[in-house]
Chain A
């Protein structure tokens, strides 16, 4: 485990998570959540959990983002907070 890379990606994960819940646009939240999931996938590759990493890349970053975008498409982008 390369700890510099680990710490950098952990910081990016926290920023993506905060951004995903703070942004005032649901489509933006969905995209930031996809970025968050992909950062998590990189983190698990660094930690040596390759099986978890590719499951997260396909299911977390792929399918979850598609679900969020589909839900926003069927409802609305407007949000108050």
Chain B
């Protein structure tokens, strides 16, 4: 039981990641305002980035920049001393993609506002159904 509890508490980053993901999903589904939906989408994306960064963390490791790089030939690089940099590199791309999707989504929201003069989903649907 104590072992199980330690497993739960020790991985608290993952629990917060699930919480953030569910907050984002709730905002995307249940919120009525288009900008709120876009905020939810961004929170969702950030939660996934948090998950990937959490997988790269090692206890007692430092940031992934090689020490003693001048005489690196004499000293072996121990991988356990450095945080895994592969998830970081993947998530750099994800951040850029997320800001691109944000820009496109907000541009579409502005066009929708100029056409229907509202950002609320139900009012837009009402205007579409009764022209």
Chain A interfacial positions (CB closer than 8 Å to B): 1, 6-7, 10, 13-14, 17-18, 20-21, 26, 29-30, 33, 36-37, 40, 43-44, 47-52, 55-56, 59-60, 63-64, 67-68, 70-72, 74-76, 78-81
Bound form: Cα–Cα A37–B123 in Å? 31
In the assembled complex, the CB of A73 is this many whole angstroms from the nearest CB of chain B, namely: 10
B124 close to chain A: CB less than 8 A: no
Q: Chain A contacts of B109 at CB under 8 A?
A: 71, 75
Query: Judging by beta carbons under 8 Å apart, are A48 and B106 in contact?
Result: no
A60 to chain B minimum Cβ distance, whole angstroms, is 6
A59-B96 contact, Cβ under 8 Å, with A52-B91, A81-B36: yes
Q: Chain B nearest CB: distance from A30 CB in Å?
A: 8
CA distance A1 to B49 in the complex (A): 18
Q: Which of A43, A49, A52, A79 has the most CB of B within 10 A?
A: A49
Chain B residues close to A by CB (< 8 Å):
12-13, 16, 19-20, 23-24, 26-27, 31-33, 35-36, 39-40, 42-43, 46, 49-50, 53-54, 56-57, 59, 61-64, 83, 87-89, 91-92, 95-96, 98-99, 102-103, 106, 109-110, 113, 118-120
